Structure 1
């Protein structure tokens, strides 16, 4: 088994990781702002969501991001084997993917992390060895009158580190590669409540106090291109409008060339949907892949309200591809 120390040493020599010794590898004090450069090549392949042209569907999300010669895995699905099985069926190798981005702590986005790392490490010690997360992802989640920590990431964390993985915690927007940004925690300036509340909702421990769990660790990936911003979300619990406004503030105030992933509007009210679609029209969204928790009816509604067509707005499905040069390859079932 490759040790975490060996992985960190190899990644450092490869110029992939700063040589910190702790899990908290990225500073939360201020954004890292290297020279701005836009992405020229981008391809996003969906590996986990409910519908599937090939492979297996599930209530979860995962996507392979290939950008200017780099490869990243964004989220790891709801079951520990679905992303791996779908990748094999689609003949997509994860052995040359050094980095993972986890959009937030929920198990339908993180369950595959440890199994995927254990699978690839014997063949390629640097594969899936670095996981980017937002500050707050490890905060305990409890229910009133129950001291149990319901945050599964606090069980995933020691297993992933024992398998040689290292977490990079982002407390602020960070450009992890030229033109590729992670938002870190997103300010909640608009009153979007894009998270599920069950009969016994969890509460999050922050600063020694218990507060409503608004999924404060929700994080999106923003890719800056000449055509505009490409926004990739897991569930968009921070609110899709909050995410895009923050991206336009942090990266640049460009139109949204593509919005891809889950935006948690499957159970939204008519008022919320009307407000959201009006905001999305203002952002100039040109392509939309509504996967996971977006809602099938929501996607069809947005197709009409945003003035898009079947080539530019589809329900997300396994095997589906967004390519910066050619647009959406929807497959069969999602059209």
Structure 2
């Protein structure tokens, strides 16, 4: 369905309103909310990392309230099985004929927004059950494939501390997340406001401002945002510069074990388009690429032991590469 100009304007006006509704509950975290909304508009999934008590779960729950979508929370634990999230077959009886048959009972994955809480606390077998859902937007059980409802958005959280008893996500699954978003501590003023808001009797009333159909339309609209050939080539150069075997940058060869693959370039362009649309533009600018590069690349650049020993992380590499690639124009 082709949207009219008036319908597009009406749709775009709801995106800032969506963020405003979320901010009725969430204090600060402006950049974090932008990244989550960008991932949602781009049709991808998000991994949220932060220490306990920084409102990771609350952000997702509030976001679901501002959207007219089904929301489910899955608390990942060491004893969680794949069938606990996908679903299982149960034996039922037809009372009219007396015949028994198996019926698939859908699990919590069959919703629009899934909060996978502390995803690194469950074994790889259960983590891998998410792979098909995240990539193919469907699940398979007993040889039968079941499509998931759209829009479908997985927001997983993990705690960067307390690593005992956890199962780090394999690189293949990390790559399925469009963005890795890191949440830090609030500022002094923001923390003061949090204390004021959360220790009284008043609760913010979050209104749903956008429907599932409108979200699907917005996601289709993201694909129509234009990006010129020079910026596409810049993204290609930036991604290729992260690979130590082909990069001309000395510190990439020194610090990086594995660079980002082609999916990173796709993610960077798509999220840049989504950010442009969120800002009310139909064309990608360099600032969109620079803004999204850290969240796109931080889980796709694998550092070596020397970098870890020196305290060099992938964000630092991305920051330096942005400067070098932009300055030289080609690597």
TM-score (norm 2): 0.27
Q: Which has the higher contact order (CA 8 A, sep 6+)?
A: 2
Larger of the two Rg values belongs to structure: 2
TM-score (norm 1): 0.27
